[in-house]
């Protein structure tokens, strides 16, 4: 069968791209263990204040886990608790967050942390803060008239 050389090149490019994509996906899923966030962690949104760990928002040192600290946030219209928090430089932190009312966002500006906080569900993200400074947390899900005022901050201190 005769094939034009451009057609051949495109076929090779197409199949090559597909193989690269599947390899990246496979390594990410099976070697690095990346998975879509599960919806298994649930909470009664009306009892957030009485449910651990959300009864004590803020930073807590933990032992015997893959991370050094747990950073608990509760979002509600139109604020986060805590309103600001200090995190030691270089610490591996698991951020655990939920909302008491409507859907809120949880974006840490200047990082790749960007979660949606849904009532009844717990959102988690493990990260290491390896740059000192102030990180602004903003809500990026429209949640009402005070949406634009909703913020918190993480201060990474040496």
C-alpha distances out from residue 120 to 61, 114, 117, 133, Å:
25, 18, 9, 32
How many amino acids of this chain bind ligand CUA (CB under 6 A)? Answer: 9
Give yes or no for residue 118 binding ligand CUA (CB under 6 A): no
Rounded-to-5 percentages of helix, strand, coil across the chain: 25, 35, 40
Tell me the closest approach of the beta carbon of residue 1 to ligand CUA, in angstroms.
59
Tell me the closest approach of the beta carbon of residue 84 to ligand CUA, in angstroms.
17
Give yes or no for residue 143 binding ligand CUA (CB under 6 A): yes
Cα separation of 38 and 35, whole Å? 8
Cα separation of 104 and 77, whole Å? 8
- Binding ligand CUA (rule: CB under 6 A), the pick from 72, 108, 150, 156 is 150
Tell me the closest approach of the beta carbon of residue 119 to ligand CUA, in angstroms.
12
Q: Give the footprint of ligand CUA on this chain (CB under 6 A).
A: 78, 104-105, 139, 141-143, 147, 150
């Amino acid at each position: 069968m005769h094939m034009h050389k451009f057609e051949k090149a495109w076929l090779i490019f197409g199949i090559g791209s597909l193989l690269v994509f599947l390899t990246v996906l496979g390594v990410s899923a099976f070697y690095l263990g990346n998975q879509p966030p599960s919806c298994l962690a649930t909470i009664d949104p009306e009892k957030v204040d009485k449910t651990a760990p959300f009864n004590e928002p803020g930073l807590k040192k933990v032992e015997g886990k893959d991370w050094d600290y747990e950073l608990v946030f509760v979002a509600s219209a139109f604020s986060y608790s805590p309103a600001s928090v200090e995190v030691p430089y270089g610490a591996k932190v698991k951020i655990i967050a939920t909302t008491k009312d409507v859907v809120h966002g949880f974006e840490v500006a200047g990082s790749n942390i960007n979660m949606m906080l849904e009532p009844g569900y717990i959102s988690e993200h493990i990260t290491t803060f390896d740059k000192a400074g102030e990180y602004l947390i903003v809500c990026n899900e429209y949640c009402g008239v005070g949406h634009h005022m909703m913020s918190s901050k993480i201060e990474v201190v040496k």
